[in-house]
Structure 1
Amino acid sequence: MNPWFETVAEAQRRAKKRLPKSVYGALIAGSERGQTIEDNQRAFTELGFAPHVAGPIGERDQSTTVLGQQLSMPVMISPTGVQAVHPDGEVAVARAAAARGIAMGLSSFASKPIEEVIAANPATFFQMYWCGSKDEILERMERARAAGAVGLILTLDWSFSHGRDWGSPVIPEKLDLRTMLKFAPQTLVRPRWLATYAKSGHIPDLTAPNMAVGGGPAPGFFGAYGEWMGTPPPDWADVRWVCEQWDGPVMLKGVIRVDDALRAVDAGVAAISVSNHGGNNLDGTPAAIRALPAVADAVDSQIEVLLDGGIRRGSDVVKAVALGARAVMIGRGYLWGLAANGQAGVENVLDILRGGIDSALLGLRKTSVSELDRGDIVVPEGFERALGVPVGGGGFDTETSEPVDNGVLVESASP
């Protein structure tokens, strides 16, 4: 089989053929009935383009910056946990991102140490959950700072939803002999995946080395996950505290409401990502792209706005940028590429997105992504979701999280 694939959908098909059933299931899973994960993709199909038939031609510029990092195109690697679909995991992804000139987001639940990932891609943002005590959070921050992370991504858009109508994927706590025997029927029918690990000389690593604190051992994925679930969620004062402790840019990932976006500005973050955790949070949350325009309008260039969720094509990237995003973050797409062909597969996915962006710019007769605006997009009536719009007042008290100046909130669909 030709290792090259032409679409992200083909990368997904190859990942499904190559991976054990439970591993592939972990990549496609959404919460509950999967309404949000479906809407993340469906929403992009509802948007159209308004192309020109004549205009500037020639080389098109896709470059942009995110939090001071130069990107060759408006795409970043979104942090995803335990990338054991391939032995090289996050290091392979970081190398691919560096080779294509984009930044890396590394999950605190990653299977590779932050030091190895930053060595592969110096433009790495370290992603953190609000997990453990403040002292433990500070220790993880200090490790990221010492390793050379260029910024933090604070992820708050997950509320521990477990139920899935098609069944939750079975992920073991560790791979000992007993577990390997249990999963043997799945893995033996995927000989190419087994051969890749056999060649690497080690078994899939299900620990979270970046969660280790106090000189102790790295916890397993579910040990780290359990600590997170047992930590009371943060308030806006805690978000401000993170920004004050980190002497660099902080991105808040998971914003879907206008009032939360404005509170994030007040708390001191440098960027937000409009996101619903790829459909793995509260099912029934609107697609991120539906919420993007109202959020982008509300913050009005005070901070940078990104989007993640549902990106499968370069044209999706262009739609998001035209509706107000500086860049997008991708998750499942690069994981399918990693599963299909390691680092080269991730580079393949990034090349597909780059080609799609270029084609859309050509059709719209734009010479740069910076020229994109809402006039380039056909937005159907009722498409947008403007959630938590403050009216009658301004701003929020960061300490109490309440509107000030008699502000009240309204919920609406498209204005």
Structure 2
Amino acid sequence: MASTRDWFETVAEAQRRAKRRLPKGVYMALVAGAEAGTTMDDNTAAFAELGFRPRVADLPTEREVSTTVMGQDVAFPVLISPTGVQAVDPDGEVAVARASAAAGTVMGLSSFASKPVEEVAEANPKFFFQSYWVGDRDAMLARAERARAAGAKGLIVTLDWVFDSRRDWGSPFIPERLDVKAMARYAPQVAVRPGYLLRWLKHGKLPDLGVPNLVARGQDVPTFFGAYGQWMMTPPVTWDDLQWLREQWGGPFMVKGITHPDDARRAVDIGATAISVSNHGGNNLDSTPASIRLLPDVVDAVGDQIEILLDGGIRRGSDVVKALALGARAVMIGRAYLWGMAANGEKGVNNVLAILRSGVEETLFGLAKSSIHQLGPDDLVIPADFTRSSPKK
């Protein structure tokens, strides 16, 4: 199906449309990686190094793509990764929740989201709530309990962040709040992207940089940078902290940001349900290899003891299949759906999810697999140095 005004046939096309529609600073906030962007670039480049071993006859007429993640049925193995303040569209996380519900998959909601957890829960009851370790234990538990009351089916704690905001090409300006000074600074960018401002004005508001899910319902909502400052001042989390929170939560629990096999083993030790192999989309420690390169060693270490997801660099359904063949149960996407939303709102998110699902099914067909659960490393051509692992002694 060729691209039309209301449909794009690739995630790359969604990105191009997002770039045309968003003010430069907003777009750069979506694509920027830490420092030189080495990890961010490798997240996508690594997938191109993996080849397939296709078959040509006895191909399956039907393909099973459903699975379960942390006790939740999903129609296909792609989940929404939690991302912060979604200023690319007025409906933000609520639009993403509606789209993911329509696609039959789980929404990951960030504690730094711009929409209250209660509104998102109404749009998609099948959601996991995510939090960084911000504040003391009481604050963490209060945040989790608010999410539980709203119906969260699981808790995600994100650990892959070192507060490195340096960018070799310059960090985009993000204001503390949209006051007159900030709007004047953004005015030249918005002037060449008037459609962006018009979409917000039609909704009777401007982008909100508050983070309502970081506090108890009814409390004053902190600004994004107010919350960020609190996060920076919070002492580093310990494995004892994580075990305590997992026990207090008592339900499905994911540790996001695992890249080292030893950390994967520690996640198993504290009783986590799942881990996400992730480098925060290249926004953690630059020069970390791509998530997909690190996945096999993590799978070797704990693959029979915990659910493993892959987050980072997914742009095609074939990328999803490669991750599953290397041992992931499912993948999580971030930039891809944000580009879709920037390109065409909720319909754009639906579009991205449809692209990925059809790509998974097409790739299974080419591999002569009738189910995603039949995939394994033998379906891939893997370069000898792909994982960048140290030689085994």
Per-residue CA deviation, residues 207-229 of structure 1 (Å, 9 max, x unaligned), is 00001248531100111111111
| Cα contact 1:385–1:414 (8 A) shared by 2 | no
Distance 1:138 1:355 in 2: 39
1:329 matches 2:361: no
Aligned to 1:220: 223
Matched with 2:137 is 134
Larger CA deviation: 323-332 vs 216-225: 216-225
Name the residue aligned to 1:61. 64
Distance in 2 separating the partners of 1:168 and 1:218: 25
Structure 2 distance, partners of 1:334, 1:58, is 29
Report what 1:37 is aligned to. 40
Query: Does the Cα contact within 8 Å between 1:151 and 1:249 map onto a contact in 2?
Result: yes
The alpha-carbon deviation at position 239 of structure 1 amounts to 1.1
Cα–Cα, structure 1 residues 3 and 355, in superposed 2: closer, same or farther, change >3 Å?
same
Aligned to 1:395: none
Letter in 2 for 1:13: R
| Secondary structure of 2:157's aligned partner | strand
State the secondary structure of the residue aligned to 2:369: coil
Match of 1:199 among 199, 202, 205: 202
**What amino acid is aligned across from residue 346 of structure 2 in structure 1?**
Q
- Are residues 1:83 and 2:103 paired? no
Contact kept? 1:382, 1:414, Cα under 8 Å: no
2:259 corresponds to 1:263: no
Would you say how many aligned residue pairs link Structure 1 and Structure 2? 390
Q: After superposition, what is the alpha-carbon deviation per residue over 1:67-122, rounded to whole angstroms, capped at 9, x for unaligned?
A: 11111110000000000100000000000000000100000000000000011001
Amino acid of the structure 2 residue aligned with 1:248: G
2:165 is aligned to 162
Report SS of the residue matched to 2:84. coil
Q: Give the drift of 1:300.
A: 3.0
Counterpart of 1:275? Answer: 278
User: Any idea what the Cα deviations from partners look like across 1:199-247, whole Å, max 9, x if unmatched?
Assistant: 1111001100001248531100111111111101111111101110102
Matched position secondary structure for 1:360:
helix
Aligned to 1:294: 297
Q: 1:169-217 deviations in whole A, cap 9, x for unaligned? A: 1111111223212211111111111111111111001100001248531
Alignment of 1:92-241 (within 5 A): 92-213=95-216, 215-241=218-244
Q: CA deviation at 1:343?
A: 0.5
One-letter code aligned to 2:302: V
Q: Which residue of 2 aligns with 1:368?
A: 371
Deviations 1:357-376 (A, max 9, x none): 11100100001101111110
Structure 2 letter corresponding to 1:335: L
Structure 2 counterpart of 1:347, from 347, 350, 358: 350
Please give the alpha-carbon distance, in whole angstroms, between the structure 2 residues aligned to 1:413 and 1:224.
Answer: 42
Partner of 2:255: 252
The alpha-carbon deviation at position 56 of structure 1 amounts to 3.8
Q: Which amino acid aligns with 2:316?
A: R
CA drift at 1:55: 2.3
Q: Distance in 1 between matches of 2:349 and 2:391?
A: 37
**Cα deviations across residues 30-76 of structure 1 (Å, max 9, x unaligned)?**
00000000110110000000111122421111101101111111000
Structure 1 contact 382–413 (Cα < 8 Å) conserved: no
The answer to whether the Cα contact below 8 Å between 2:146 and 2:216 also exists between their aligned partners in 1 is no
Please report the TM-score for the alignment, with normalisation by the length of structure 2.
0.97
Query: Is the 8 Å Cα contact of residues 303 and 327 (structure 2) preserved in structure 1?
Result: no
Distance 1:214 1:92, change over 3 A: closer
After superposition, give the CA deviation of every residue in 1:147-189 in whole Å (9 maximum; x if it has no partner). Answer: 1000001000000001100000111111122321221111111
Return the TM-score normalized by structure 1: 0.92
Q: Output the CA distance in 2 between the equivalents of 1:308 and 1:209.
A: 25
Counterpart-to-counterpart distance in 2, 1:142 and 1:57: 45
Name the residue aligned to 1:378: 381
SS in 2 for 1:73: coil
Residue 385 of structure 1: CA displacement?
Answer: 3.7
Aligned-partner Cα distance in 1 for 2:110–2:360: 27
CA RMSD of aligned residues (A): 1.2
Q: Distance in 1 between matches of 2:166 and 2:229?
A: 16
Q: How far does the alpha carbon of each residue in 1:348-403 deviate from its partner, in whole angstroms, 9 at most, with x for none?
A: 000110111111001000011011111101100110144xxxxxxxxxxxxxxxxx
Q: Does the alignment pair 1:316 with 2:331? A: no
List gaps (5 residues or longer) in structure 2: none
The change in CA–CA distance for 1:56 and 1:238 in structure 2 (over 3 A counts) is: same
CA distance in 2, matches of 1:268, 1:355: 35
Contact preservation (8 Å) 2:47, 2:319 = yes
CA distance in 1, matches of 2:272, 2:102: 29
Structure 2: which amino acid aligns with 1:370? H
Partner Cα separation in structure 2 for residue 131 and residue 139 of structure 1: 11
